[in-house]
Amino acid sequence: MQRKTIYLLLCIVGVILPYWQFMPWVAANGLNLHVFFQQLFANRVGGFFGMDVFVSAVALLVFARAERASLAGPLRWLPLLAVLTVGVSLAPPLLLYLRERRPQAIESDKAMT
């Protein structure tokens, strides 16, 4: 299986699994950010995972900004949108998928000229 396909599958899993847990919570609590953060940091284990995700998201955004030249085009903003709407379960595989697509697009452009 190609890496591009694996990254795309990880994108799908990275949306489904977190929202599988999050949507029932939203149905019960609404988009109450106070309750969200209160429950996220209710104990040290939750705080550990919360801080881990926040740091990972910032590191990913820094990396995505550095990689923007290799993601040139209208899709380069997608990793930022992925971090803000889903999180680090989607954004890294999406960034890697976009990086895999770019060399193929360059090669096909060269073949056409």
The per-residue DSSP string of 23-38 comes to: HHHHHHH-S-HHHHHH
Range of the domain at 84: 3-112
Q: Which residues of the chain have pLDDT under 50?
A: 109
Tokens 């990275």, located at residue: 14
CA contacts within 13 A on the Cβ side of 68: 9
Position 108 scores a pLDDT of 53
Cβ atoms of 105 and 76 closer than 8 Å: no
Helices (H), the chain: 3-29, 33-40, 44-66, 78-85, 91-112
Question: What pLDDT, on the 0 to 100 scale, is given for residue 76?
Answer: 85
Q: What's the number of domains the chain is made of?
A: 1
